[in-house]
Chains A and B, each alone.
Chain A
Amino acid sequence: MSKLARVTLPQALNYRGGQPMAAWLLHRISGIGIVLFVGLHLFGGFFLYAIEGGPTSAAANWLTDIYVSKPVQIFVLFAMLWHGLNGLRIIVLDMWPALHRFHREAMWVQWALFLPSFLLPALLIATSAKI
């Protein structure tokens, strides 16, 4: 068996990691979301072109209907923005470890960049007639 620590669910919920832990969790969720979206998109496109008019293109259309729906588009926007901004924060803190003194401020800068750049386009997508 592996050397990983065993953590029960109540222990995990009690752990107060604060904002950096929330950022790490959202980084993981958004990463999995991007892999799913890009993967579906890539293999959907492949099936669409591989056998034209065949059963695979029906599957491709079905996949396309899912990922062009508004909730999925808004989630993709969230995932791309969060993963990108949080990744930049991680890169900056990794390259200049002295900046770890300001890791709380870095989170606040990240929120200040993320919230307007997510909420405004999300509102536009939610209220637009077509995407």
Chain B
Amino acid sequence: MKNNNNKVPKLAHLFFRWYCKKEMYEELHGDLEEFFYERVKDKGPFKARLLYIWDVIRCCQSYAVRKPKTQNTTIMMLNNYFKTSTRSLLKNPLTSFINIFGLAVAIGICLTVYAFMDFEYKIDQFHANKGQVYLTTFYTNRDGSIERYGMSPAPLGELLSTDFPQIQKVCRVEESNVVVKYEDEVFHETLTYVDPSFLEMFTFPLGKGVNKSLNDLNSIILSHDMAIKYFGDDNVLGKDLEVIFSDSNKKVFKVAGVAEPFPKPHDLGFNFLIHFDNLDYARPTNDLSNWDQFITATFIQVNDPNQIAGLEEGMEKYKLLQNEKNSDWAIESFSLEPFVTLYANSAEIRKAIVYNGSAEGRIALPIIAIFMLGLACFNYINISIVSAAKRLKEIGVRKVIGASKNKIAFQFLFENIFVTLFALVLGLLLAVFMFLPWFIGISERSMELNFFNPELWIFLSIVLVFTGVVSGLYPAFYISKFNVIRIFRGSVHFGKKNPLTKLFLGFQLIMASILMTGAVMLTQNSNFQAKRTWGYDPNNVLYVELPDSSAFNRLEAQLIQNTNVVSVAGAIHHLGNNHTTTVIHQPDRKYEVDRLSVGPKYFETMGLQLKAGRFFKDHSENDHAAIVVNELFVENLNLSQPIGHVFEIDSMRYEVVGVVENFHLYNFYYEVLPTIFSLAETTDYKFMAIEVKSGAQPITYATLKKDWAVLFPEIPFQGDFQTRLWDNFYKDLQTQKTFSTTIATIAILLASLGLYGLVMLNVSGRVREFSIRKVFGAETKNIIKSVTNQYVLLTVISMIIGAPISYVLNKALIGMMFPETMQADYFGAFIAVFIIVSVLLTVVSTQIFRVVKSNPVDGLKME
């Protein structure tokens, strides 16, 4: 009996026979068989069969593979289209450049926006249990409006874990500012107190150490950045770090873990993690069973997300406990926010542990990207229609030799996708090397285009097909429907007066007008915001944070010897840095206001302006029951005689003794709110404000730092010029100007390119006409009129429609961004229209110049 194992594998042999050239089959397979039989003897049948299969695969190369007898006609056709497209691109390099460059810029912007959105939607999504973790939030009525808060009553976490067996894990989180000391180095840091379940619920991987070390009250876990900052590397397990909670509370912790660097798209993070119970040590007066106390956050983890509705209902019972104890923060209801959506929704949750500062960007940027793609597509459609006039004969010949309407349409669509492919590659390069680095610079987000991510390739394919089809569909069908006889008779005149071409150009001009008006108005608004006053004088003020109760007196004693210091004041809160909110009780309503507790000299030192009454008196015991309010407070409560008016706050009665001009607690993105000042005890001061002589700020600041180092060698200096508190705000204003101007410039560039292409094609198609006009004595102004006629009317109509739309839209946008804006007028829109018209005139005049300077004889000869 013949052994089948000693024969070459049948399937592999059949495959070889299928692909191998007939004339080579005998020779090649003969040798393969000889190798096979030799290997059967040397290595055994199994290995020989495997090696035979490998040989068959290896031989499948161009020299051995047979060519198909007849080529697929579709491939031939596509090959032909490819050739025609390449020739057409090379024949009209300028229009090709306009099309490709326009589309590339738009695609580059789309890719940049894609990178931004991809980054945004990945923020905090790397945690393995994200689908089971929820943040406890509550709704409360703040002076008539229901607000959602992300902080949590302190006792809530413990009660949840005991009352609800369906809750798998609970994690309380509290953050505070401390000083961290290692050897001689001291830094101000943010410390996070967490329950040991934190690292099980949030899967930040630890590079060194184990999650369980959080169970130890004396252990501390560092982020990768902190390990590098303090120790230079992450090999730090077992090292000691001293945490200074306050002047009297210090504790040494042993480093028990170091986290891996956090993934770039993250918002929830930490610098230092310690066990939550350390709060008892850090804040001995804190009572975590008191519903009056709030902590940063309480997270829960459940097995089954379907239990959430039941849990929320069950949490209703805590309302009574909370509201009995703290009626000022009466809770309407509790609610659980999925961690998956927490970042996206955090703009709607006040005091949430994570904060989404780019909620507007998520809406505005995709709209801008679609706008730009629209502009580029309109350009393409217009230029395709007009430039097809040059290819009439080609279309005619194709139709004569049997091409159907659909075939012609398909050919043009194919060409368009081919052009879009070019643009896609160029757009990708523009995005990677130009737009993305620029956008990362202004947005300070480390986003990237990950080419190993299949989602990116799916997005690119969608952009390719969408752009290719949207911009090519209309021209393809428009061009393909022409009658072949009319083409050869020369009676087809299309493109030049196509109403849709004008409509698209009109759209482009309106879009450019909206974006340009936006840029002008945002610039005007930025200048307006930059010139606004803060309601006090920050220019000559320095401030410094104080570490303990005796610090103010010690520093003040040092500073009053400095002749550059005009006045010194202490405060618990400081303008631009922090404040608290409190509830004012009136017989008929409760009213929430911002509150700052300050020393008596604070008003003069900060330059707050008194409108009525007086400031606090120095060493006045009575003034501990006095408040100074701002004008808005008086206005909102309709106080005709504010001085002497008495309010109840925290069960104590306070009398209004003074009214100050409205002032800004924070930057101009935030509206001025009703605010009160109360008198603070010297021992409670957390800040010192120092007014210095004009021009002496730098030298006093340097002296202050030196004095500080002598007085408080263990505590790092934390203070600055008051004006520097707004550096980020002014930087943001500058970014807005840069961003809007860049986008508007690109929009105008695209519209100008489109118009240039149209005018150029129009002029090229009318060379004979202009030559005849010139021969018959037409003057330059007649030629100009003839070229520009249709565009002038179109531009005027577009601007008449575009300018008011631009004005209304941009006014609404700026109104959304800033509570107080400049007195918007049409000036911004006029400037925008002027810029657009100037650019368009420049573009058109280059072509007019060409026509005017051309020799009519040449023009007549050419045609």
Partners in one complex: no
Residues of A within 8 A of B (CB): none
Residues of B within 8 A of A (CB): none
